[in-house]
Structure 1
Amino acid sequence: MWPEGEETLVSKALLAALTSAGEDRPDALTVAGRPCSREELLGAAGAVAARIAGAPVVAVRAEATLETVVAVVGGLLAGVPVVPLPPDSGPAERDHILRDSGATLLLTGVGGAGGDVGPGEGAGGQGGGRGGPGVTVMPVDAAERADWAKPEPDEAATALILYTSGTTGAPKGALISRRAVAAGLDGLADAWAWTPDDTLAHGLPLFHVHGLVLGVLGALRVGSRLVHTGRPRPEAYAAAGGTLYFGVPTVWHRVAGDPAAARALRGARLLVSGSAPLPTPVFRGLAELTGHQVVERYGMTETLITVATRADGERRPGHVGVPLPGVRTRIVAEPGAEIGELEVTGPTLFDGYLNRPEATAASYTADGWFRTGDIAAIEPDGTHRIVGRASTDMIKSGGYRIGAGEVENALLDHPAVREAAVVGAPHEDLGQEIVAYVVADGVGEAELIDFVAGHLSAHKRPRKVRFLEALPRNAMGKPQKRLLPPA
């Protein structure tokens, strides 16, 4: 759903590098210490494809295992839309995703229960099949082999159904086409000079765009070696021997806090951060320890990655770069305002929300641009800066429009502050007052308020500071502001 005249960049099959006759190696893919060649992966995925061919939708219990990669690739080979299921999802979330997606099969690692189960049961669970038809649990064995010679489906076919975080209601299934995945990965390969000579290393979850689409399918499309560390521990990153590393701010904060691990990344070519803004102190700390200025990028479940700092571009803290090839962006702002809602269009956008035509229509403008709901600014050189979510991070106080992210970065520049989240709370005079939630040692409220006022305009200073032991975060390390205690 993009304006007429937009064209995709797709010029090869989605899994071109996996199915090509190029040079292979026994550790082309390593997940949590388990190596696999491309030929072995293709054989195992072929066995899955043969077993699931013809299914309408297949769910995959997306643990950080080799079996998850085999299952996802098997679904893509067979042309069956894949629904990555977070392995830590509770019964209600799991029930909703299985029922809403219409999945008839749930692929798990070897050892999962077989047979028919209700949506509430999952793999070997004890649910009572509450509502809806049963879902057959199918174990995946990475040692199984089968040839799969059928051609890949049309590029317009749905590759993945990725469920949103559900912060504004029940999670919605975003329909992601093979064309969108391919266009996004080709754009990132161009931006980051990503080639088969690279080794991509990361330990991100395999049920999100970052860890699965970029972190697995990206390597399989480009043809680079992949090392998934299982968990994103600093020592695991240090031992991975990557030229290209992916991480979220929480991961990079921990790496920066382990100087020995950070220095081990000096031999890398590129460090990439995404899924949430990278705090400026972490950017600076990594630059000092690794010799690399981290590259940031921006995207959403519905859009995949649309904006990225290029490998040969200027890297600035808090900036996420320029649009990928084929992507266009614009800011919709009030007259005179420097920031506004970011809207995007291009070949990486989703095909809509599953069974939710009204929600799909509401997410687009009349002329076909996707409303991201994120507040951003575009610099004169085209570089984008994301301020935050319109629903939670645009604060209107005393007639000023203030981005929460700017205040958060100012707080994080204080040496005593480890974490910060800023919100706008109702105020009878100002409309909203700025309230900061921080994790800090040896500093008081007045000092932090004065510190921000000294770094930014006085009207951007917090009126209140609440001290917490830790900020609530999701699996990708994003602060969950809706879970903060009342101001």
Structure 2
Amino acid sequence: MTVTVPGIAARLADRPEAVALVESRGRTSRTTRRGELVRRCHHLAEALRDAGVRPGHKAVVMTRDAHDLTAVSYALGILGAVPVLIEPRAEVGRCLRDVAPDVFIGEPLAHLGRRALGWGRPHIGISLVTGPAPLPPGRRLPTRTPVGGAPPARLPEPDGDGPALIAFTSGSTGRPKGAEYHHSTLAGQLDALTALIGPRPDDVLLAGFLPVALLGPLLGLTTVAPAVNHLAPARTPPGELVAPMLRHRATVVLASPAVLTLIARHCARHGVTLPSVRQILSFGAPLRLRLVDALRRAVPDDAEILSVYGATECLPVSAIGDHELRASRVRPPAGHAGTCLGRPLPGVRARILDADTTGAGEIAVTGPTVSPAYHARPDADAATKSDTGHGVLHRTGDLGRLDDEGRLWFLGRKAHLVTGAGFTLATEDIEAAADTAPGIRRTALVGVGTSVCQLPVLCVEPLPSTPRAAALAAVRAVLRDHPQGHRVAALLIRTGFPTDPRHNSKIDRMRLAGWAAGRLRGRAR
């Protein structure tokens, strides 16, 4: 059966005078309207075709500029080529060997890295430079050419359900893999986000994560791309986030907990409120109630704060509002430790595979938002993908349960289980409780030692105002009331946890476990 989904130009065709994208840098902003974006994308598609790019070509797009990323990716889609998105901090050379791209399009810094490190050398035949800098030499792609004069040729967009995008995982929990999205996958993600957000004509979306800028205009939303430090989001000057929210009256915010923490702290420190915000969507890591409380003080009482669960391979899966999240922490159903993720979104089905006697097992999902395959990784497909009557079933690698209300509960990653002598601890089971201790910013459970007999160590990051002794005492008190708390063998104070490069929100447990092992060896001497 042939599947036809709306093309990029068709999704942008309505309201040509409405603003599609606002790039915010300090006190300046650059605005692109929807009609202008369509015309520019067709001009770019012509330029790409003239440069030799053809339908089916795989084209890496590596730039931190929201306009260039959006316009180039849309233009490649119009042409029938496949954009490839890779984290610039990930194992780029290995990713390029996996994907074997035909084209490399990027800002000057990306090209310098490509040349110095030999990224994609055997495969890349077409190299195009974005941005205004004079170096490196190479053919420039006119992403900022003024739109005027003769209208561009309207290239016919692909009308089937072929490959539309390859998005690499961050590699925070293993080797990065390229998740293939078909046109129907992107359509499913847009439909799910539309159901979640309920876009309004006057909505303004703040994109706290660069790829969100790709989706915002397709959702019909004016999308503000602030000057996030995409190499280290948690180091972004918070004023670069809050100022454009106020200036452009942002109504919807999509960001990771690390970025939301910057916003909440800035508002508290400067007595700022965000009166236009009606909805905040947190994604990338579990949302803690301490952050919810800080955000609540900055937004109107009727604003909705949602914790969204998903992964690069299946986004979004489920969502839960902060009021239900709070209730689930105060009165969790019997046997449901961890963090509630809410109910799966319409069209998404969640299952628990290989469940134990408590009902805990691996979360697996099917639905229109699920990537059908990894690119050139049959080993990963064999381990995580299977065909069902409801489409491809994807194993997430996350542990969880389903309760009697059909809600998902998250217990942590399978790979992060701590296996001791006769017991096993799930990270989220311990951390969700320990993080409620007064004066604590966050905790992280890691295993030290061999995989079959690990020592459970809880790393503790206090708030700056909390003395270390008080922080440890507060965590110990919480653990005494937890059924598995007595299993934790050691507590270690650590200021600043290593985190994933993409969101700065997922904890890098391998690095943290190495640090903990060194501290414990030092104590033993």
Tell me if both proteins adopt one fold, taking TM over 0.5 as the criterion.
yes
Report the counterpart of residue 286 of structure 1 in structure 2: 295
TM-superposition CA deviations, 1:225-261 (whole Å, max 9, x none):
1111121653333332211001111112222222357
Indicate how the Cα distance of structure 1 residues 262 and 180 shifts in structure 2: closer, same or farther if over 3 A, else same. Answer: farther
Indicate how the Cα distance of structure 1 residues 11 and 51 shifts in structure 2: closer, same or farther if over 3 A, else same. Answer: closer
CA offset at residue 158 of structure 1?
1.2
* Matched AA of 2:382: A
- Indicate yes or no: 2:244 matched with 1:216: no
Q: What SS does structure 1 have at the residue aligned with 2:459?
A: strand
CA offset at residue 136 of structure 1?
3.1
Summarize the alignment of residues 223-262 of structure 1 with structure 2, pairs less than 5 Å apart.
Answer: 223-231=220-228, 233-239=237-243, 240=245, 241-260=249-268
Alpha-carbon separation, structure 1, partners of 2:120 and 2:393: 39
Indicate how the Cα distance of structure 1 residues 104 and 382 shifts in structure 2: closer, same or farther if over 3 A, else same. Answer: same
> Does structure 2 conserve the Cα–Cα contact (< 8 Å) formed by 1:376 and 1:385?
yes
1:43 aligned to 39, 45, 53, which one?
Answer: 39
Indicate how the Cα distance of structure 1 residues 386 and 155 shifts in structure 2: closer, same or farther if over 3 A, else same. Answer: farther
Alpha-carbon separation, structure 1, partners of 2:411 and 2:483: 16
Superposed CA RMSD: 3.1
> Does structure 2 conserve the Cα–Cα contact (< 8 Å) formed by 1:436 and 1:466?
yes
* Matched AA of 1:467: I
Report the counterpart of residue 442 of structure 2 in structure 1: 419
Gaps of 5+ in 1: 114-119, 207-211
CA offset at residue 134 of structure 1?
4.2
Report the counterpart of residue 450 of structure 1 in structure 2: 476
Report the counterpart of residue 438 of structure 1 in structure 2: 460
Report the counterpart of residue 21 of structure 1 in structure 2: 14
Alpha-carbon separation, structure 1, partners of 2:291 and 2:494: 20
> Does structure 2 conserve the Cα–Cα contact (< 8 Å) formed by 1:234 and 1:262?
no
> Does structure 1 conserve the Cα–Cα contact (< 8 Å) formed by 2:204 and 2:250?
yes
Alpha-carbon separation, structure 2, partners of 1:129 and 1:395: 37
Indicate how the Cα distance of structure 1 residues 252 and 129 shifts in structure 2: closer, same or farther if over 3 A, else same. Answer: closer
> Does structure 2 conserve the Cα–Cα contact (< 8 Å) formed by 1:15 and 1:221?
no
Alpha-carbon separation, structure 2, partners of 1:123 and 1:459: 47
> Does structure 2 conserve the Cα–Cα contact (< 8 Å) formed by 1:79 and 1:152?
yes
CA offset at residue 481 of structure 1?
0.7
Q: What SS does structure 1 have at the residue aligned with 2:385?
A: coil
Report the counterpart of residue 332 of structure 2 in structure 1: none
* Matched AA of 1:302: E
1:31 aligned to 23, 26, 30, which one?
Answer: 23
Alpha-carbon separation, structure 2, partners of 1:288 and 1:417: 19
Alpha-carbon separation, structure 2, partners of 1:46 and 1:459: 59
Give the percent of matched residue pairs that are identical in Structure 1 and Structure 2.
25
Indicate how the Cα distance of structure 1 residues 134 and 185 shifts in structure 2: closer, same or farther if over 3 A, else same. Answer: closer
CA offset at residue 97 of structure 1?
2.7
- Indicate yes or no: 2:221 matched with 1:196: no
Report the counterpart of residue 523 of structure 2 in structure 1: none
Indicate how the Cα distance of structure 1 residues 82 and 23 shifts in structure 2: closer, same or farther if over 3 A, else same. Answer: closer
* Matched AA of 1:157: G
Summarize the alignment of residues 343-362 of structure 1 with structure 2, pairs less than 5 Å apart.
Answer: 343-362=364-383
Alpha-carbon separation, structure 2, partners of 1:379 and 1:159: 36
CA offset at residue 303 of structure 1?
1.6
Alpha-carbon separation, structure 1, partners of 2:421 and 2:116: 54
Report the counterpart of residue 209 of structure 1 in structure 2: none
- Indicate yes or no: 2:285 matched with 1:295: no
Higher alpha-carbon deviation: 173-182 or 278-287 = 278-287
Report the counterpart of residue 142 of structure 1 in structure 2: 143
Report the counterpart of residue 61 of structure 2 in structure 1: 60
Indicate how the Cα distance of structure 1 residues 310 and 13 shifts in structure 2: closer, same or farther if over 3 A, else same. Answer: farther
Alpha-carbon separation, structure 2, partners of 1:124 and 1:402: 42
Gaps of 5+ in 2: 130-140, 229-235, 330-338, 518-525
Alpha-carbon separation, structure 1, partners of 2:472 and 2:14: 65
> Does structure 1 conserve the Cα–Cα contact (< 8 Å) formed by 2:96 and 2:120?
no
> What is the number of residues matched between the two proteins?
457
> Does structure 1 conserve the Cα–Cα contact (< 8 Å) formed by 2:166 and 2:179?
yes
Indicate how the Cα distance of structure 1 residues 344 and 129 shifts in structure 2: closer, same or farther if over 3 A, else same. Answer: closer
Alpha-carbon separation, structure 2, partners of 1:128 and 1:270: 44
Indicate how the Cα distance of structure 1 residues 77 and 134 shifts in structure 2: closer, same or farther if over 3 A, else same. Answer: closer
Report the counterpart of residue 404 of structure 1 in structure 2: 427
Higher alpha-carbon deviation: 472-481 or 162-171 = 162-171
Indicate how the Cα distance of structure 1 residues 338 and 452 shifts in structure 2: closer, same or farther if over 3 A, else same. Answer: farther
Q: What SS does structure 2 have at the residue aligned with 1:350?
A: coil
CA offset at residue 34 of structure 1?
1.8
Report the counterpart of residue 116 of structure 2 in structure 1: 126
> Does structure 2 conserve the Cα–Cα contact (< 8 Å) formed by 1:342 and 1:376?
yes
1:185 aligned to 190, 193, 200, which one?
Answer: 190
CA offset at residue 285 of structure 1?
2.2
- Indicate yes or no: 2:474 matched with 1:482: no
Alpha-carbon separation, structure 1, partners of 2:422 and 2:113: 53
Report the counterpart of residue 316 of structure 2 in structure 1: 305
Alpha-carbon separation, structure 1, partners of 2:258 and 2:345: 25
> Does structure 2 conserve the Cα–Cα contact (< 8 Å) formed by 1:175 and 1:353?
yes
Q: Given the two structures, how large is their TM-score scaled by the length of structure 2?
A: 0.78
Indicate how the Cα distance of structure 1 residues 345 and 458 shifts in structure 2: closer, same or farther if over 3 A, else same. Answer: closer
CA offset at residue 223 of structure 1?
0.9
TM-superposition CA deviations, 1:70-128 (whole Å, max 9, x none):
11111121121101233445xxx23223332222222224xx39xxxxxx965674345
